Structure 1
Amino acid sequence: MKPAPVPPAASSPIVVDETGPQSFTLTVTFDGQRFECGRYISRAAAMQAGRLFLQRKEGEAANGRTKRKPGRT
């Protein structure tokens, strides 16, 4: 059995670009929209933030909820 082909980085919803030494920017694409999600000091931290962002957006899309209730943590 052949392994599944790896999609090119451009089709990934999470893009982490190295902008300098210990400086990475995170861009997430969800539902056709592009979100600039800030700067991070490590690629791993940026990837984790990207995964959490996607989980939140998928939850919002599934539940129709757009923001937290006041007073909730």
Structure 2
Amino acid sequence: MTDETTNLVLEHLRHIRGGIDDLRQDMREVKTRLGLLEQQYAVISGRLDRLTDRVERIERRLDLAEHPI
């Protein structure tokens, strides 16, 4: 290979490496954001569960709940 060909190949490899580095950084950001969304979902889910329990308890106290047959 000539020096010019070698330099061209190295230039392409550097460009590819830079692209991979950018993708790697993007994936880290996506994983971080996804983790935060999962935590927020867990908090909201827990709150909804507690709210459902409270509504059921209120319905029973007011005798609004359906009675099992």
TM-score (normalizing by structure 1)? 0.34
Return the structure number with greater strand share: 1
Higher Cα Rg, which structure:
2
What's the TM-score once normalised by structure 2's chain length?
Answer: 0.35
**Going by fraction, where is helix more abundant, 1 or 2?**
2
